[in-house]
Amino acid sequence: MEGEEFKVAAKEMVDYIVDYLTNIRERRVLPEVEPGYLRPLLPPAAPDTPDQWKDIMTDIERVIMPGITHWQSPNFHAYFPATNSYPATLADILSDSIGCIGFSWISSPACTELEVVMMDWLGQLLGLPQDFLFSPEGTGGGVIQSTASEATLVALLSAQSKKLKELGHTPTTAHPQLVAYTSDQSHSSVERAGMLGGVLTRLVTSDEQFAMRGPALRQAILADIKEGLIPFFVVGTVGTTSACSFDNLREIGELAKKFGLWFHVDAAYAGSAFICEEFRYLMDGLELAHSFNFNPHKWLLVNFDCSAMWFKNSNDVVEAFNVDPLYLKHEKQGQVPDYRHWQIPLGRRFRSLKLWFVMRMYGKQGLQAHIRKQVSLAHQFESHVMEDSRFEIICPVTLGLVCFRLKNEDNTMNEKLLKNINAGGVIHMVPSKIRDVYFLRFVVCSYQTESDDVKTAWKEVKKQADLLHL
């Protein structure tokens, strides 16, 4: 495929996706295919000679679309958002075409340097403590990771290396006495990071607001110290997946300081809200953290993947796993970040272009308006729920998540309700469970979600409840 042919194909593809996104409400949000649906639709092997572009375009509707869960649909209310946007797509076209691999400064200086500046722009937008940002005197700075799960693992491994150095051990061999802490409400990827890192992870019991608090954490730490274990790492969550609850960062941070733990804050979903000043109270105490992470690819209109992570002392990660062969060295080392030391993979795409295009094409006010609108839509859904005496809200609605359930019914009936809602094909939600109470999660996800879509969603919930004769 040469340039002129590509131009024609790209126009077709662009027209196709604009049509797809514009008319996405017409599609069933959750597909009805069964496992294994796709293989019979394709030949058993790659073709020997080239296929025609037109056949590929045709196959998108024939093969792919029947099996798509439409995350960008205004009827998608599952998990958390994964918002994309046209400006970010434009940036990815450019990134794909430049096709540089930004593992070191010299491997494409613009790739590193734009990321440095964009992480500062973004940190400023969020009102992060100044010492998380780059500065000529300081050690702070930000980096784009692929996902929050990866960011948590990077923080844990950095903390492990730092602690082992402090103890005088070889920092790169296992130490079975190390123990990490997080809330019983934190994302499953935190527990998984502990598994991957080969350390014990304690799930600290959260309070009645589903928040990890100081006293419970202190008790866990003291019990472990008594057993001869070595506490080294704690993850606080700002906006949990189950219920969008908020750990008390200040209490955690003070204990981390007292007991010498690395304090990582995971704000994967909620972090985007901090571009609005009125939500910043939720990150009170963040100045006590060693590292902070949130996902612009969740709620800030930046196509996946783009997970923003900041360190107060970036030397901690750079020195943790530094391998520096000749074929990756360059003359300017030390003057600029070589981001390969800040992450797990070696290679990296030019992802800061997405941040740049999105921050410029929306502006701070445009992004704030997006967040505020989505939060107001969640409150609209909350009102609908509260007006129906069959239902209850099970925790405060702070951002875009509404957790609710049938009030006088058991888990089984709530499970049945959700199953029927998803089978109905009008909207899609997923459940969660806290302390054996099963509930439904309604999340405002798509950038295109409007008040009418929220009404549609509520109508569908009510209809399915009616059908159960509740």
3-state secondary structure of 141: strand
What b/e string do you get for 331-368 counting C-beta neighbours within 10 Å, with b at 16 or more? Answer: eeeeeebbbbbbbeeeebbbbbbbbbbbbebbeeeebb
Determine if 441 is a binding residue for its own copies (CB under 8 A): yes
- Shortest Cβ 263–its own copies spacing (Å): 21
Kindly tell me which of 261 and 288 has the beta carbon lying closer to its own copies: 261
- Name the residue with tokens 């998380």: 132
Kindly tell me which of 239 and 431 has the beta carbon lying closer to its own copies: 431
* Binding segment toward its own copies, per CB under 8 A, in 197-205, 208-216, 372-380, 402-410: 197-205
Kindly tell me which of 361 and 393 has the beta carbon lying closer to its own copies: 361
CA 358/CA 9 separation, integer angstroms: 25
Determine if 138 is a binding residue for its own copies (CB under 8 A): no
* Binding segment toward its own copies, per CB under 8 A, in 211-219, 259-267, 281-289, 303-311: 303-311
CA 218/CA 352 separation, integer angstroms: 39
Determine if 303 is a binding residue for its own copies (CB under 8 A): yes
* Binding segment toward its own copies, per CB under 8 A, in 4-12, 223-231, 282-290, 397-405: 4-12
Determine if 223 is a binding residue for its own copies (CB under 8 A): no
Element housing 190 (H / E):
helix 188-197
- Shortest Cβ 205–its own copies spacing (Å): 17
25, 28, 165, 175: which one binds its own copies (CB under 8 A): 175
Determine if 305 is a binding residue for its own copies (CB under 8 A): yes
- Shortest Cβ 253–its own copies spacing (Å): 26
Footprint (CB under 8 A) of its own copies, residues 306-345 = 320-321, 323-328, 332, 335-336, 344-345
143, 144, 180, 199: which one binds its own copies (CB under 8 A): 199
CA 169/CA 165 separation, integer angstroms: 6
Amino acid at 468: L
26, 36, 168, 281: which one binds its own copies (CB under 8 A): 36
Catalytic residues: 187
Footprint (CB under 8 A) of its own copies, residues 93-112 = 93-94, 96-101, 105-111
In sign, the C-alpha dihedral spanning 289, 229, 164, 202 is negative
Determine if 128 is a binding residue for its own copies (CB under 8 A): no
Angle between helix 148-166 and helix 188-197 axes, rounded to 10 deg: 40
- Shortest Cβ 317–its own copies spacing (Å): 12
3-state secondary structure of 71: coil
- Shortest Cβ 4–its own copies spacing (Å): 8
Count the residues of the shown chain that bind its own copies, applying the rule CB under 8 A.
149
Element housing 259 (H / E):
helix 249-259
Kindly tell me which of 108 and 255 has the beta carbon lying closer to its own copies: 108
Determine if 37 is a binding residue for its own copies (CB under 8 A): yes
Determine if 366 is a binding residue for its own copies (CB under 8 A): yes
Determine if 292 is a binding residue for its own copies (CB under 8 A): no
CB atoms within 10 A of CB 249: 26
- Name the residue with tokens 């205004």: 74
CA 378/CA 421 separation, integer angstroms: 18
CA 116/CA 135 separation, integer angstroms: 10
Find out whether 332 and 105 touch, Cβ atoms under 8 Å: yes
Contact mark string toward its own copies, 224..263, x via CB under 8 A: -----------------xx---------------------
3-state secondary structure of 309: strand
Footprint (CB under 8 A) of its own copies, residues 401-430 = 430
Kindly tell me which of 79 and 456 has the beta carbon lying closer to its own copies: 79
Amino acid at 235: V
CA 265/CA 310 separation, integer angstroms: 10
**Which spans in 308-447 are helix H?**
315-318, 352-386, 411-424
Determine if 202 is a binding residue for its own copies (CB under 8 A): no
